[in-house]
């Protein structure tokens, strides 16, 4: 894993996000997170999950604005692909939210943008 360090402590997994310098969420980071969710869904030994930031003072700063701007550079392509990408991102967050295990966000300072607010903020 490039963006997540994982540790197992008994029945608890700890996932530490690390994308210096600001801990922005990116498409590759999202892919890793989706992969980790799939693994923990199938792991009967793990009963709880703790997710935290690995950059001092940062949990998640935001989704990478540079990545979003690059995607928006071609408006036609953006209109075609963004709804699919957004839906996939929110499905990933829903899978995390609906895990049949305890999930703890150990928020260690900055946490903003990219759907990282409460579910009610997304119309749930």
**Residue listed under structure tokens 């700890």:** 14
In CATH terms, the superfamily for domain 4-110 is 2-enoyl-CoA Hydratase; Chain A, domain 1 (3.90.226.10)
2 contacts 39 by C-beta, under 8 angstroms: no
27 contacts 68 by C-beta, under 8 angstroms: no
Q: What is the pTM of this model?
A: 0.84
pLDDT digits (tens, 9 = 90+) for 21-79: 999 999 999 999 999 999 999 999 999 999 999 999 999 888 888 988 898 899 998 99
**Residue listed under structure tokens 């540079």:** 66
In the numeric block, which tokens belong to residue 57?
A: 């003072």
Residue 117 has pLDDT above 70, yes or no: no
Percent of the chain with pLDDT over 70: 91
In the numeric block, which tokens belong to residue 121?
A: 């903020």
Domain ranges of the chain: 4-110
């Amino acid at each position: 894993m490039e963006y997540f360090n994982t540790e197992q402590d008994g029945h608890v997994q700890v996932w530490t996000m690390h994308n210096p310098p600001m801990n922005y969420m990116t498409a590759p980071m999202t892919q890793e997170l989706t992969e980790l969710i799939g693994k923990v869904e199938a792991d009967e030994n793990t009963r709880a999950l703790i997710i935290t930031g690995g950059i001092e003072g940062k949990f998640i700063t935001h989704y990478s604005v540079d990545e979003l701007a690059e995607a928006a550079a071609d408006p036609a392509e953006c209109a075609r692909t963004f709804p699919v990408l957004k839906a996939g991102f929110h499905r990933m967050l829903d899978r995390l939210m609906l895990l049949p295990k305890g999930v703890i966000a150990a928020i260690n300072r900055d946490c903003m943008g990219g759907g990282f607010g409460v579910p009610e903020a997304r119309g749930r």
